Chain A
Amino acid sequence: MIYKAKASHIGGAFSVIDILTSLYLGNILKVSPDSPDAPDRDRLIFSKGHCTSALYAVLAMKGFFSKDLLERFGEDESLLLCHTSHHLPGVEFSTGSLGHGLSFATGCALAAKRLSRTWKTYAILSDGELNEGSTWEAIQSAAHLRLNNLVAVIDANRSQGLGNTDSVLKLTPLAGKFAAFNWDVIEIEGHDHEQILHATSIDRSEHDSPLCIIAHTTKGKGVNFMEGKLEWHYRSPNEKERDQALEQLSR
């Protein structure tokens, strides 16, 4: 997809792909391609919309739309623009401007509470968008509202637009920050499906705060020449790099 569209953000797509795969294909999320708008479905808000190629791929695998559509990523008249779009079945919320997802997710979780419904809401955030003040407004709000039906998963690849997160705007201690804002926090290895499945399926009914899962990940995971390299936030692979990457990923 990214090669064909000459698109960016492959690094962040590879850091979040295991999280998405576990949630959708590991059947954590109660969603169904047969009724993408079912009122009581779980909601997943993908806030790091620039890495939407990963979400689209997983939604296609799940059956929300044909895998053929993926070939048209970023093309004229395609439904698949290069940021997350709600015009596609299975997508709750369009993103691309960082720092919007958690507020919207908070609204979905609050709606479930106020309507006495049981759906859960998951928000997937990048660590870079924790720079945004709006994200921290939402962090305060969700904890204040005691939304134990809300889970935020942070794709903590420690890298953002122009460098390492701590060198851009110091983020550590991240777990301590969420804890100080009255969230429950757990840290996991974000490419370990067992750990992701476990953390995202914890029964929260006895808790009275939202849960933050800090998933430690690697940007460009799975492709040795991409891992941890800032340039893969921007670059699109050429044909040779694509083939090498596919070869490494299929191992």
Chain B
Amino acid sequence: MRQAFIEELTLLAETNLNLFLIVGDLGYSVVEPFAERFPDRFLNAGVAEQNMTGLAAGLASCGFHVFTYSIANFPTLRCLEQIRNDVCYHNLPVTVVSVGGGMAYGNLGYSHHATEDLAVTLPLPNIRVIAPGDPFETRLATRELCKKPGPSYLRLGKAREPTIHAAIDGIKDLRTLQILQEGSDVMLVSTGGILEQVKAAAERLTQSGICAGYSSSPYLKPFDEAGLLSIALKTKIIISVEEHGVGGLSSLISETLHRNNMNTLFRCLKTQTENYKFVGSQKHLRAKHGLDEEHISSFAMTCLADLADAT
């Protein structure tokens, strides 16, 4: 996803002369194309994320659309108050970009995982929060952000995520829930790079004769409530899947369902704090948190069985 992002950004910067990229001393072998092509609109702010973000707000107040770029928690939690006060409160065009959303940096450990970033950015004023599910969604998100600059958070995976959408042109409106497969028994709703596991889980369920669908919610703010409600009318169980703890997609869905008096069964899969001590690759850690295709599909089976028992 980071490759898709930087390619798009570099392309967009050819015609959009306000685009500015600041990195927090990382992005080796990723950001060079932009830095070399547009040295006047590039800055390495050093390992100083608070200043990176405050400085970005200053540049933005003078007409630039600034992207700040760093890993996992560094561009969000480390400088949250600068995002809150300097960027969001002032409604300035700064897009915070994080690579390594969730546990993409696997064995680098908890310090390099972003598992609370959505919870802290979603309540901020004026912000858009986007976590693309595949490289196509990443490209479209980058284009949309440049078209309509404003406070925003773009949460990317890392590298080599598969494309899940068949084609980029097939994505009609990125702001809506992207239903990749309909499912009348269960609908898996995910956000971010975990989409790949969700797709595989849906395929497993389908093979077991269950009518399982899956979807991606790149936009978390604004969240496609109408899209969710229409899913709720068409399926027995909604299961959210995200590489993030409480306060992200699961909270948005449960709040939306509750507020609209929907009683479609809703269950969520997310990271659990007691599992943050484990070491391993992203694949390994996803399994530890029950977020791999195997766990997702067996969890869905259990939910369906419970529902059948109850009725």
Contact = CB atoms under 8 A, between A and B. Distances in A.
> Does A pair with B?
yes
A97 B82 CA distance: 10
B175 interface: no
B40 interface: yes
Interface string A100-122: 10111111111110110000000
Interface in A127-165: 133-134, 137-138, 140-141, 144
Given A86-B90, A97-B85, A103-B55, A137 B50 contact: yes
Interface residues of A, number: 30
Interface in A32-74: 39
B58 interface: yes
A125 to B, nearest CB: 13
A104 B85 CA distance: 11
A187 interface: no
A94 interface: yes
Contacts, number: 92
Contacts of A93: 61, 86, 90
Nearest to B42: A114
Contact of B64 (A95, A111, A138): A111
A92 interface: yes
Contact of A108 (B45, B61, B82): B61
Interface string B58-80: 11111110000000000000000
A92 B61 CA distance: 9
A212 B80 CA distance: 28
B20 to A, nearest CB: 8
B180 to A, nearest CB: 40
Given A93-B90, A97-B85, A111 B51 contact: no
27 contacts: A39-B63, A86-B90, A93-B61, A93-B86, A94-B85, A94-B90, A102-B54, A103-B51, A103-B54, A103-B55, A103-B82, A105-B58, A106-B55, A107-B61, A108-B58, A108-B61, A110-B43, A111-B63, A111-B64, A114-B40, A134-B50, A134-B54, A137-B48, A138-B54, A138-B55, A141-B46, A144-B46
Given A114-B40, A138-B51, A141-B55, 12 more contacts: A93-B86, A94-B90, A97-B81, A102-B54, A103-B82, A107-B58, A107-B62, A111-B58, A114-B41, A115-B63, A137-B50, A140-B48
